[in-house]
Amino acid sequence: MEREGHAVEMDTRKATALLAYLSLGGKAQARDRLAAMFWPKAGTERARGALRRTLSTLRAGLGVGGLRTEGQSVAIGDDVEVDVARFRQLLGADRLEDAVAAYGGDFLAGFTLSDSPEFDDWQAEQTDALRGELTAALERLASRSSEPSAALAYARRWVHADPLAEPAHRAVMRLLFRAGDRAAALRQFRECATLLDRELGVRPMAETTALRDAIERGDELEERSTPRVLDESVGDLYRLHGDYTKAAASYETAIAALPVHARAPVEHKLADVHHRRGRWDDAERLYEAAVRDTEDPALRARATADWSLAVHRRGITDRAVRLATRALALAQGAHDDRALAQAHNILGILTGDRSHHERALRLAERIGDPEMRVAALNNLAVACARAGEFRRAITLTEDALAAARLIGDRHRVAALHNNLADLLRAAGRTEDAMRQLKRAVTLFAEIGDEGTAEPEVWKLAQW
């Protein structure tokens, strides 16, 4: 943060934390809310006094007009320049090169408040969100840059920002191979495989392994920077971030540019966006279209499984079970473990038979599919909770939450915080439960259409 061209520094950690929170909050904050957040163990009067002293420190550092107080609310003045706001303004103006150049590092890197867990939670969410916006910009730059060396630099920075993102590793592999450095491209694959094994205990996805095989054979690689691919890729990032209006628009643009026989994968993704928004009719229509428009038995099985869940959301259980059973048969016929895991996952939700979730989890871990693993962990946790096995349910949900945060799927992270809050409350850990619930509420408030939370997203405890 800067004021009149000079960096603003505070002489206490609480003042630094409060400055950061007010700067990114985007609106005036209630004094009582701030006092409770930053001094949670102090009594009301003591917390208010500590807040007054910290605000005095902020005023001294920011100067006249740097801090606005109106009644019982506090806000940062308009003449204070916030680097995060600048970064986001550049992104919004599509000045991606300037935006990534302005990103100096993770939000408040190395900073913590040991006595304010709610601030630490908020800081972690802000860090994840900003890093996600950075990686989205880096992906687009790596895809559209006409200068190979610049594209490779952006792809390498993408890997550095998100080491577990396989699309980032694949981008580096492609660019290295096209530059004539086959050995370096294969080293990049080995680095990716080692990281995934060490951090997640999974293997690279089939697409990453297929790219490695193509590079080993010396095959000409598919061009990845077509407008349709970029629209689909941008839609993927918006979906993870919870910007569903933008995700839907990107997917719709990609679909419009495709021949009918090639639309199914993107129709499936667009259906998922509508599913997350609670728009079951639109989701059903697109899942059905994906099944109709593909000859790929594995994709047909996965889309049918998700279609069955959308039908279940509408309360048509018998039809949902029939579709899920059909999905399982299609997956078995396709010999596709990803489709098989998805079918078992959905059947577990519909029938209440936890053995389906156990099978889905084993399959997801065997094939190294992180999104499927998160779903299976969460759904198994829900089944365990119903059986009164709260200790195992909490462990499974914590594992799912850690994995979802690595993926960067904010909707799933919010749902898992909410589920974990319910489990902790049932286990008698009320304070921990409230902490998780606050994180869920904050994230859910940011997911939906143009920042407006959609009620249906709260209902998706299983997926």
Report how far residue 454's alpha carbon sits from residue 184's, in angstroms, rounded to the nearest whole number: 46
Give the other-Cβ count within 10 Å of 166's Cβ. 22
Give the other-Cβ count within 10 Å of 335's Cβ. 10
Q: Which two tokens stand for residue 463?
A: 């997926």
- pLDDT given for residue 454 in this prediction: 59
354 confidence band (pLDDT: 50, 70, 90): very high
Report the predicted TM-score, pTM, of the whole model to 2 decimal places: 0.62
pLDDT digits (tens, 9 = 90+) for 209-231: 989 999 998 887 765 545 556 67
Check: CB of residue 51 under 8 Å from CB of residue 37. Answer: no
Q: Which two tokens stand for residue 192?
A: 């990716």
The answer to whether residue 11 scores a pLDDT higher than 70 is no
Least confident of 72-76, 78-82, 354-358: 78-82
**Residues with Cβ within 8 Å of residue 52, at least 6 apart in sequence:** none
pLDDT digits (tens, 9 = 90+) for 277-294: 889 999 999 999 999 999
* pLDDT (average), residues 449-453: 51
pLDDT digits (tens, 9 = 90+) for 401-418: 988 888 888 899 999 999
Burial 266-292 (b: 16+ CB within 10 A, else e): bbbbbbbbbbbbbbbebbbbbbbbbbe
* pLDDT (average), residues 254-283: 91
- pLDDT given for residue 3 in this prediction: 60
Q: How distant, in Å, are the alpha carbons of 96, 134, 152, 166, 230 from that of 226?
A: 18, 21, 17, 20, 6
Q: How distant, in Å, are the alpha carbons of 34, 163, 220, 236 from that of 133?
A: 27, 15, 31, 12
- pLDDT given for residue 223 in this prediction: 56
pLDDT digits (tens, 9 = 90+) for 301-315: 999 999 999 999 989
pLDDT digits (tens, 9 = 90+) for 105-137: 888 888 888 888 888 888 888 888 888 889 888
- pLDDT given for residue 401 in this prediction: 92
234/339: higher pLDDT: 339
The answer to whether residue 64 scores a pLDDT higher than 80 is no
The answer to whether residue 432 scores a pLDDT higher than 50 is yes
Report how far residue 33's alpha carbon sits from residue 18's, in angstroms, rounded to the nearest whole number: 12
- pLDDT given for residue 211 in this prediction: 92
Report how far residue 87's alpha carbon sits from residue 135's, in angstroms, rounded to the nearest whole number: 13
Across 84-98, 156-170, 223-237, the highest mean pLDDT is recorded for: 156-170
451 confidence band (pLDDT: 50, 70, 90): very low
The answer to whether residue 452 scores a pLDDT higher than 60 is no
The answer to whether residue 445 scores a pLDDT higher than 90 is no
pLDDT digits (tens, 9 = 90+) for 15-51: 889 988 998 866 788 899 899 899 988 888 999 999 9
Least confident of 55-59, 77-81, 209-213, 423-427: 77-81
Mean pLDDT value across the chain: 87
455 confidence band (pLDDT: 50, 70, 90): low
The answer to whether residue 12 scores a pLDDT higher than 90 is no
SS3 assignment for the chain: CEECCEECCCCCHHHHHHHHHHHHHCCCEEHHHHHHHHCCCCCHHHHHHHHHHHHHHHHHHHCCCCEEEECCEEEECCCEECHHHHHHHHHHCCCHHHHHHHCCCCCCCCCCCCCCHHHHHHHHHHHHHHHHHHHHHHHHHHHHCCCHHHHHHHHHHHHHHCCCCHHHHHHHHHHHHHCCCHHHHHHHHHHHHHHHHHHHCCCCCHHHHHHHHHHHHCCCCCCCCCHHHHHHHHHHHHHHHCEHHHHHHHHHHHHHCCCHHHCHHHHHHHHHHHHHHCCHHHHHHHHHHHHHCCCCHHHHHHHHHHHHHHHHHCCCHHHHHHHHHHHHHHHHHHCCHHHHHHHHHHHHHHHCCHHHHHHHHHHHHHHCCHHHHHHHHHHHHHHHHHCCCHHHHHHHHHHHHHHHHHHCCHHHHHHHHHHHHHHHHHCCCHHHHHHHHHHHHHHHHCCEECCEECHHHHHCCCC
